Amino acid sequence: MTTAVRKEETRPKDVIPDVIVDPSCGKRYLKGRFLGKGGFAKCFELTDLETKEIFAGKIVSKSLLVKQHQKDKMSQEIAIHRSLGHKHVVQFHTFFEDSDNVYILLELCRRRSLMELHKRRKAVTEPEARYFVKQVIQACQYLHNNKVIHRDLKLGNLFINDEMEIKIGDFGLATRLDYDGERKRTLCGTPNYIAPEVLGKKGHSYEVDVWSMGCIVYTLLVGRPPFETSCLKDTYTRIKKNEYHIPSKISTPARNLITKLLRADPGQRPNMDQIIEDEFFTSGFLPPRLPTSCLTMAPRFDTIVAKTEALTRKPLLDVNVAGKFDGLQRPITAEVGSLKREIEKMPLKDMQEMGDQATKPDPGRRAGDEPSDYWLSDLCGQLSAVVASKPAERLTTQIEEAEDPAGIPIYWVSKWVDYSDKYGLGYQLCDNSVGVLFNDSTRLILLANGENIHYIERDGQEHYHTLKVFPETLNKKVTLLKYFRNYMNEHLLKAGANMTPRDSDEMMRLPFLRTWFRTRSAIVLHLSNGTLQINFFQDHTKIILCPLMAAVTYIDEKREFRTFRMNLIEKYGCSKDLASRLRYARTMVERLLSSKSGSGRAKSAAS
């Protein structure tokens, strides 16, 4: 008996079983991928073993719900959320409890939230902001009509599904008004988004969501919250004094909307019905949808805007607005065998000219606001801090403490083939798009839809064509691209094959391969969105580093993905395998920085 008690006492209280059973009906759910944690909850993918439907499972240990007000808060969150049903509100599925935990099953939003998009992109374009914010307003119209105030609207609570639609979630601070005109007095919210009347404890209502909407619009367009400072007290002071600055780059309609939403007097703010009719939404281009690539790269709206303005009936994929289109419309019909023959017939001097051009200095022109080293310096600092902490010596038993799935990369290289002795490096991204970095430091990308191609000059200028319609000058490079694609499809195994679905959309802009080199141990690939990938030859493991998310994804020998935040590795440690790869990565980043390789192939290293 004593032994049994001792075993029970040593069993971890917060261990979540692999198969979770709803005691009320016997339904069984398989615990899957870890999604993250926040507040009291840990989140996992939960699969209904009968229907195979996958949910986001919010799991709260009862050991954290000891006080009555904590239980009441959770009960209120469940009561409010389960009563809601709207296209742009995270769908509530069910909830239940067992002796250890409370389980809340919600709609799974695989594209995370606007917070992760913000970290990777900083400021977004106005059409994107219009698209996202309009959906938030529509959800808030529904909430307010049902007497619900969310009270914690922020980028991290605006989730994104596979169709890139917004879903408001996390109703932990939400409240329902019992009667018209009621004012709530609870001090709650997130510092950068909290309204002045909440701070002043003057009583608040629906207008706090309008204020938060102003902070969201500002953050999306400017790239940082309007009242943010390094000190919480100073942030609150600025909110109370209504001190913020709108940069001159922001358009007049957007500036006017932000000013209306962030009025200090809540009575002067527009309601949701008025906001949705604002000039910002009615006068500018509103995309009907967005590609998943906008999670990491600004989309292109030129084709779709040109089509709308021209009011032509020409198929969208045949419209070319690159500015240098010569009018040639000619299909390329070469098959796999003839592709190779076509390449072999190309005069060798053409390819030698490619190699000669690669030695010319790269002007370093960039399409966006990215730094000239594409975040390599930031990554070097992050890696140096992790390595200095000696993480392998301090590994805790809770390795998941350092996990942060929100940092999982949007794009990485799933296949590659080195033909740089003649032409360049061909590669496939995880969404099945294909690119070639040619020896002359130009790039050609074929989107996953197999139709749209992007040509990027050495100075960063981008041109958009299709496989059927492109300038004659690109004939040889398009032929090479198709050859690389067919070779990789026939001969190479794809890494992480099921992580990212195909995405075919004429608005897509993909990160391109900026530079690469090989060592005896690995190939190092640096993408234009800052992602650095290292594939190790001997054991086929990989690490994918994202300086903007300050995260590393480790793909082990079994091709299983785990994503960790750098600062959490510093705090909690990591495995010896990952620690050694992070040390190697720091050396490679230092080599890239010292080589000052602007583009193309960096010098091969010997280590």
Distance CA 51, CA 83 (A): 24
Mean pLDDT throughout 528-545?
Answer: 95
Question: What's the pLDDT at 334?
Answer: 35
Q: What is the pLDDT of residues 113-134, one digit of tens each?
A: 999 999 999 999 999 999 999 9
Radius of gyration (Cα) for the chain, nearest Å?
A: 26
Spatial CB neighbours of 336, under 8 Å, sequence gap ≥ 6: 486, 490
Spatial CB neighbours of 430, under 8 Å, sequence gap ≥ 6: 411, 412, 413, 414, 495, 496, 499, 500
Question: What's the pLDDT at 189?
Answer: 83
Q: How far is CA 9 from the centre of its chain?
A: 42
Question: What's the pLDDT at 587?
Answer: 95
Residue 279, pLDDT > 80, answer yes
Round the average pLDDT of the chain to a whole number and report it: 84
Q: What is the pLDDT of residues 394-448, one digit of tens each?
A: 765 566 778 999 999 999 999 999 999 999 999 999 999 999 999 999 999 999 9
Token pair belonging to 451: 């139709």
Question: What's the pLDDT at 323?
Answer: 30
Question: What's the pLDDT at 217?
Answer: 98
Question: What's the pLDDT at 507?
Answer: 86
Percent residues over pLDDT 70 in the chain: 81
Token pair belonging to 160: 């994104």
Mean pLDDT throughout 327-334?
Answer: 30
Question: What's the pLDDT at 14?
Answer: 62
Mean pLDDT throughout 313-324?
Answer: 33
Beta strands 513-518; 600-601: pairing state:
parallel
Distance CA 365, CA 349 (A): 28
Distance CA 435, CA 484 (A): 8
Residue 597, pLDDT > 80, answer no
**Residue 105 identity (one-letter amino acid):** L
Question: What's the pLDDT at 398?
Answer: 62
Spatial CB neighbours of 567, under 8 Å, sequence gap ≥ 6: 385, 550
Mean pLDDT throughout 281-287?
Answer: 91
Residue 319, pLDDT > 50, answer no
Q: 86 has which bridge partners?
A: none
Q: Which residues are catalytic?
A: 152
Rounded alpha-carbon distances, angstroms, from residue 445 to 331, 339, 476, 528: 18, 17, 14, 13
Distance CA 548, CA 584 (A): 20
Q: What is the pLDDT of residues 61-78, one digit of tens each?
A: 988 888 888 888 899 999
Q: In 3D, which of 603, 290, 599 has the Cα closest to residue 456?
A: 599
Query: Residue holding tokens 């041109």?
Result: 463
Residue 21, pLDDT > 70, answer yes
Percent residues over pLDDT 90 in the chain: 66
Calculate ∠ Cα 540-422-341, nearest 5°: 100
Spatial CB neighbours of 224, under 8 Å, sequence gap ≥ 6: 122
Task: Cite the DSSP H helix spans in 411-563.
Answer: 475-491
Distance CA 22, CA 95 (A): 9
Largest CA distance in the chain: 87
Window from 60-74, 240-254, 492-506 with minimum mean pLDDT: 492-506
Question: What's the pLDDT at 304?
Answer: 60
Q: DSSP assignment, residue 173?
A: T
Q: What is the pLDDT of residues 343-398, one digit of tens each?
A: 555 544 443 333 333 323 333 333 446 778 899 999 999 999 999 999 887 765 56
Beta strands 92-97; 54-61: pairing state:
unpaired
Question: What's the pLDDT at 560?
Answer: 87
Window from 57-71, 214-228, 333-347, 489-503 with minimum mean pLDDT: 333-347
pLDDT range class, residue 501, cuts 50, 70, 90: very low
Question: What's the pLDDT at 231?
Answer: 92
Spatial CB neighbours of 348, under 8 Å, sequence gap ≥ 6: none
Residue bearing the bigger pLDDT, 319 or 84 = 84
* Range among 3-17, 187-201, 271-285, 499-513 with highest mean pLDDT value: 271-285
pLDDT range class, residue 197, cuts 50, 70, 90: very high
Distance CA 474, CA 577 (A): 44
Rounded alpha-carbon distances, angstroms, from residue 504 to 293, 448, 453, 469: 10, 6, 12, 17
Residue 152, pLDDT > 90, answer yes
Mean pLDDT throughout 133-144?
Answer: 98
Question: What's the pLDDT at 303?
Answer: 58
Question: What's the pLDDT at 9?
Answer: 36
Question: What's the pLDDT at 335?
Answer: 39
Residue bearing the bigger pLDDT, 324 or 178 = 178
Question: What's the pLDDT at 402?
Answer: 86
Question: Is 176 within 8 Å of 80 (Cβ atoms)?
Answer: yes
Token pair belonging to 481: 């691209």
Q: What DSSP letter does each residue of 289-344 carry, written as one string?
A: ---GGGGTS----HHHHHHHHHT--S-GGG---SS------------HHHHHHHHH
134 is in an annotated binding site: no
Helix, strand, coil share (%) of the chain residues, nearest 5: 35, 20, 45
Residue bearing the bigger pLDDT, 184 or 28 = 28
CB atoms within 10 A of CB 227: 24
Q: In 3D, which of 445, 461, 453, 555 has the Cα closest to residue 511?
A: 445
Mean pLDDT throughout 171-190?
Answer: 88
**Residue 58 identity (one-letter amino acid):** K
Residue 276, pLDDT > 50, answer yes
Question: Is 452 within 8 Å of 508 (Cβ atoms)?
Answer: yes
Q: What is the pLDDT of residues 540-595, one digit of tens each?
A: 999 999 999 999 999 998 888 899 999 999 988 889 999 999 999 999 999 999 88
Q: In 3D, which of 225, 114, 95 has the Cα closest to residue 167?
A: 114
Question: What's the pLDDT at 329?
Answer: 29
**Count of residues making up the chain:** 607
In the three-class reduction of DSSP (H, G, I as helix; E, B as strand; rest coil), residue 431 is classed as coil
Mean pLDDT throughout 214-219?
Answer: 98
